[in-house]
């Protein structure tokens, strides 16, 4: 089975697939323009966030049998079309759970205590204690939108820190023991902090917009380590500017990288370049799981 690795992937993952007898080519700088000419030669492909696999590309790949994405979401792949062509599409939903959950909690602390702003002030040689009165997160209510593996991981950590958790997920099969509401509005009204862990779909795109901000508590704080485009960035900027939202911590954006940096530059926003899964431990687990999935698929084809 011939496999192309289109995005940066751990060398241990590559070697494990090769040791199992797979013919693996690493083309982790391949461009979208090159892929239509390159991909038809392969039976399987490994992608992460960089490579987008859309219908137009899939139509040119009659030999492709499997796509494995190292990561949680599948929004970079036209999954239904691929499966309609008999192409298996798989991902690694558990491997980066702890990494993303820990970043989410870290960003909550950073918002509560203005850690980023205080550091910038100190680097400017200022000793400005009065500007950085903070809040404890213990005793506050965390609203978790999306109660999948990562959402549950965040909720578990929040409870350990003394927070109350209320969750919303119309597709969750297991509440994980957390309070789940059937109406998103109920969560928005109750939460002091809101964290988003939903995939981006036609249903969730722009689901947090002007109406939803109006329902939130004054001074709410928002963390998004899930997917860009779920929060309306224009309305978020307006809510941050008015003070309705006291602060936002964003790891994901509607456009990555952004072409409009005005939201990121607001003083009550802290941001990172989609690094939720970027820990050594998490990436190692992702790579090994990718290898196992591809190896097991190859075995199933014999």
Q: How far is 83 from 65, CA to CA, in rounded Å?
A: 10
Q: Tell me how far CA of residue 192 lies from CA of 216, 237, 268, in angstroms.
A: 8, 18, 16
Pairing of strands 66-69, 44-47: parallel
Q: How far is 300 from 21, CA to CA, in rounded Å?
A: 14
Is 27 tagged catalytic? Answer: no
- Catalytic member of 227, 235, 285, 289: 227
3-state secondary structure of 281: helix
Q: How far is 285 from 127, CA to CA, in rounded Å?
A: 42
Spatial contact of 282 and 98, defined as CB atoms under 8 Å apart: yes
- Rounding to the nearest 10 degrees, give the CA dihedral for residues 213, 214, 216, 222: 20
Is 256 tagged catalytic? Answer: yes
The two structure tokens encoding residue 121:
């002030």
Spatial contact of 104 and 284, defined as CB atoms under 8 Å apart: no
What order of strands is seen across the sheet that includes strand 141-145? 179-180, 164-168, 141-145, 193-196, 220-224, 245-250, 269-271
Residues annotated as catalytic are: 227, 256, 274
């Amino acid at each position: 089975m011939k496999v192309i690795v289109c995005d940066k992937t751990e060398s241990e993952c590559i070697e494990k697939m090769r040791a199992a007898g797979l013919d693996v080519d690493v083309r982790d700088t391949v461009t979208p323009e090159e892929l239509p000419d390159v991909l038809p030669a392969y039976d399987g492909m490994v992608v992460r966030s960089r490579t987008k696999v859309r219908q137009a590309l899939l139509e040119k790949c009659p030999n492709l049998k499997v796509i494995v994405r190292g990561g949680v979401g599948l929004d970079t792949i036209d999954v239904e079309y691929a499966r309609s062509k008999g192409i298996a599409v798989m991902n690694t939903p558990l491997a980066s759970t702890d990494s993303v959950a820990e970043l989410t909690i870290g960003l909550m602390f950073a918002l509560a205590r203005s850690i980023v702003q205080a550091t910038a002030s100190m680097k400017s040689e200022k000793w400005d204690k009065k500007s950085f009165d903070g809040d404890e997160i213990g005793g506050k209510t965390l609203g978790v939108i999306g109660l999948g593996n990562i959402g549950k991981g965040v909720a578990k950590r929040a409870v350990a820190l003394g927070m109350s958790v209320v969750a919303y997920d119309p597709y969750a099969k297991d509440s994980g023991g957390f309070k789940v509401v059937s109406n998103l509005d109920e969560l928005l009204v109750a939460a002091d902090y809101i964290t988003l862990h939903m995939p981006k779909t036609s249903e969730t795109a722009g689901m947090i917009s002007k109406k939803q901000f109006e329902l939130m508590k004054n001074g709410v704080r928002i963390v998004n380590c899930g997917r860009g485009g779920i929060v309306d960035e224009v309305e978020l900027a307006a809510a941050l500017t008015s003070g309705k939202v006291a602060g936002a911590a964003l790891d994901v954006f509607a456009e990555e990288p952004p072409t409009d940096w005005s939201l990121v530059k607001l003083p009550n926003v802290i941001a990172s370049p989609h690094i939720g899964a970027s820990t050594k431990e998490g990436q190692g687990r992702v790579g090994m799981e990718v290898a196992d999935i591809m190896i097991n698929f190859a075995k199933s084809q014999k």
